[in-house]
A and B are shown apart, each in its own frame.
Chain A
Amino acid sequence: MSDVLPIPQESYLELSARQRIARICDKGTFTEICGPEARRKSPHLATFGMPSAFDDGLIVGEARLDGRNIMVAAQEGAFMGGAVGEVHGAKLTGLLLRAADRAPDAVVILADSGGVRLHEANAGLVAVGEIQRAIFTARDAGVPVIAVIGSANGCYGGMSIAARSCDWVVMSGEGRLSVSGPEVIESAQGAGEFDARDRALVWRTMGGRHRYLMGDADRLVADDPGAFRSEIVSLLGQSRAITLETLRARNTELKQRIDTFGAARDGTEIWQAMGHSDPWRLPELEPDPFQAAVDGKRRKRA
Chain B
Amino acid sequence: MNDMSWGTLADDKAARLDEAARNGLGKIVAADQAETLLVSVLRPNDRICIEGNNQKHADFISEVLSDVDPEVIHDLHVVQSNLALPQHLDLFEHGVAKRLDFCYAGPQGIRMAQLIEDGVIEIGAIHTYLELYARYFVDLTPRVSVVAVEAADREGNLYTGPNTEDTPPIVEATAFKSGIVIAQANRIVDRVPRVDVPADWTDFVVEAPRPHYIEPIFTRDPAAITEIQILMAMMVIRGIYEPYGIQRLNHGIGFGTAAIELILPTYARDLGLLGKICNYMSVNPCPTLIPALESGFITSIHSAGSELGMEDYVAARSDVFFCGPDGSLRSNRAFCQLAGHFSDLFIGSTLQIDTAGNSSTATSDRITGFGGAPNFGCDSRARRHASDPFLQAAREETGQESPQRGRKLVVQLVETFREGGQPVFTERLDAWDIQKRFGMDLPPIMIHGDDVTHIVTEEGIANLLLCRGPDEREQAIRAVAGYTEVGRRRDPKRVADLRRRGAVRYPSDIGIDTRLASRSLLAARSVRDLVRWSGGLYDPPARFRNW
Instruction: Identify the closest chain B residue to A201 (Cβ).
Output: B542
6 nearest interchain CB pairs?
Answer: A200-B542, A200-B545, A198-B542, A8-B529, A199-B545, A173-B547
Q: How far is the CB of B518 from chain A (nearest CB, A)?
A: 10
Report B499-535 residues with CB < 8 Å from chain A CB: 519-520, 522-526, 528-529, 532-533
CA distance A7 to B543 in the complex (A): 24
A197-B543 contact given A14-B525, A284-B536, CB 8 Å threshold: yes
* With A1-B296, A10-B520 already in contact, 19 other A-B pairs whose C-beta atoms are closer than 8 Å: A5-B291, A5-B295, A5-B523, A6-B529, A6-B533, A8-B524, A8-B526, A8-B529, A14-B519, A14-B525, A174-B528, A174-B547, A198-B542, A199-B545, A199-B546, A200-B545, A200-B547, A283-B547, A284-B536
Residues of A within 8 A of B522 (CB): 8
| Residue A203 is within 8 A (CB to CB) of chain B in the complex | yes
| Residue B266 is within 8 A (CB to CB) of chain A in the complex | yes
Asked if A209 and B547 sit within 8 Å, CB to CB, the answer is: yes
Of A1, A5, A199, A284, which one neighbours B544 at CB under 8 angstroms?
A199
Of B265, B291, B536, B542, which one neighbours A199 at CB under 8 angstroms?
B542
Tally of chain B residues near chain A (CB < 8 A): 25
CA distance A198 to B543 in the complex (A): 5
| Residue A11 is within 8 A (CB to CB) of chain B in the complex | yes
Residues of A within 8 A of B519 (CB): 14
Q: Mark B19-38, 1 if CB is under 8 A from A, else 0.
A: 00000000000000000000
Asked if A1 and B294 sit within 8 Å, CB to CB, the answer is: yes
CA distance A174 to B542 in the complex (A): 14
Instruction: Identify the closest chain B residue to A285 (Cβ).
Output: B547
Residues of A within 8 A of B547 (CB): 173-174, 200, 203, 207, 209, 283-284
Q: Mark A215-230, 1 if CB is under 8 A from B, else 0.
A: 0000000000000000
Q: Which A residues are closer than 8 A to B by beta carbons?
A: 1, 5-8, 10-11, 13-14, 152, 173-174, 197-203, 207, 209, 283-284
A1-B525 contact given A200-B542, A201-B542, CB 8 Å threshold: no
25 A-B residue pairs with Cβ-Cβ distance under 8 Å, sorted by A, are A1-B295, A5-B265, A5-B523, A7-B266, A7-B523, A8-B522, A8-B524, A10-B520, A11-B525, A13-B526, A14-B525, A174-B528, A174-B546, A174-B547, A197-B543, A198-B543, A199-B542, A199-B544, A202-B546, A203-B547, A207-B547, A209-B547, A283-B545, A283-B547, A284-B536
Instruction: Identify the closest chain B residue to A152 (Cβ).
Output: B223
Asked if A203 and B525 sit within 8 Å, CB to CB, the answer is: no
Instruction: Identify the closest chain B residue to A286 (Cβ).
Output: B532
CA distance A56 to B385 in the complex (A): 62
Counting chain B CB atoms within 10 Å of each CB, the highest count among A7, A10, A14 belongs to: A7
CA distance A284 to B532 in the complex (A): 10
Instruction: Identify the closest chain A residue to B523 (Cβ).
Output: A7
Q: How far is the CB of A32 from chain B (nearest CB, A)?
A: 24
Asked if A203 and B524 sit within 8 Å, CB to CB, the answer is: no
CA distance A11 to B223 in the complex (A): 11
Q: How far is the CB of B126 from chain A (nearest CB, A)?
A: 31
Residues of B within 8 A of A8 (CB): 522-526, 529, 532
Report B65-110 residues with CB < 8 Å from chain A CB: none
Instruction: Identify the closest chain B residue to A176 (Cβ).
Output: B546
Counting chain B CB atoms within 10 Å of each CB, the highest count among A1, A6, A197, A201 belongs to: A6
Residues of A within 8 A of B265 (CB): 5, 7
A203-B545 contact given A6-B532, A7-B265, CB 8 Å threshold: yes
Residues of B within 8 A of A284 (CB): 536, 547
Residues of A within 8 A of B223 (CB): 152
Q: How far is the CB of B544 from chain A (nearest CB, A)?
A: 7
Q: How far is the CB of A286 from chain B (nearest CB, A)?
A: 8
Residues of B within 8 A of A198 (CB): 542-543
Instruction: Identify the closest chain B residue to A197 (Cβ).
Output: B543
Counting chain B CB atoms within 10 Å of each CB, the highest count among A173, A199, A201 belongs to: A199
CA distance A75 to B76 in the complex (A): 60
Q: How far is the CB of A153 from chain B (nearest CB, A)?
A: 12
Instruction: Identify the closest chain B residue to A209 (Cβ).
Output: B547
Residues of A within 8 A of B544 (CB): 199
Residues of B within 8 A of A13 (CB): 526
Instruction: Identify the closest chain B residue to A198 (Cβ).
Output: B542
Q: How far is the CB of A171 from chain B (nearest CB, A)?
A: 12
CA distance A199 to B219 in the complex (A): 15
Asked if B545 and A5 sit within 8 Å, CB to CB, the answer is: no
Q: How far is the CB of A229 from chain B (nearest CB, A)?
A: 19
CA distance A13 to B529 in the complex (A): 13
Report B409-440 residues with CB < 8 Å from chain A CB: none
A11-B526 contact given A6-B532, A209-B547, CB 8 Å threshold: yes
CA distance A173 to B526 in the complex (A): 13
CA distance A283 to B525 in the complex (A): 18
Residues of B within 8 A of A209 (CB): 547
Asked if B294 and A199 sit within 8 Å, CB to CB, the answer is: no
Q: How far is the CB of B502 from chain A (nearest CB, A)?
A: 33
Q: How far is the CB of B269 from chain A (nearest CB, A)?
A: 8
CA distance A55 to B503 in the complex (A): 45
Instruction: Identify the closest chain B residue to A7 (Cβ).
Output: B523
Instruction: Identify the closest chain A residue to B518 (Cβ).
Output: A14
Instruction: Identify the closest chain B residue to A173 (Cβ).
Output: B547
Of A5, A11, A152, A200, which one neighbours B294 at CB under 8 angstroms?
A5
CA distance A207 to B542 in the complex (A): 14
Residues of B within 8 A of A152 (CB): 223
Q: Mark B223-240, 1 if CB is under 8 A from A, else 0.
A: 100000000000000000
CA distance A207 to B546 in the complex (A): 8
CA distance A199 to B525 in the complex (A): 17
Q: How far is the CB of A150 from chain B (nearest CB, A)?
A: 11
CA distance A174 to B544 in the complex (A): 13
Residues of B within 8 A of A10 (CB): 520
A199-B543 contact given A1-B294, A1-B295, A8-B529, CB 8 Å threshold: yes
Residues of A within 8 A of B295 (CB): 1, 5
Counting chain A CB atoms within 10 Å of each CB, the highest count among B265, B523, B536, B546 belongs to: B546
Residues of B within 8 A of A197 (CB): 543
CA distance A174 to B528 in the complex (A): 10
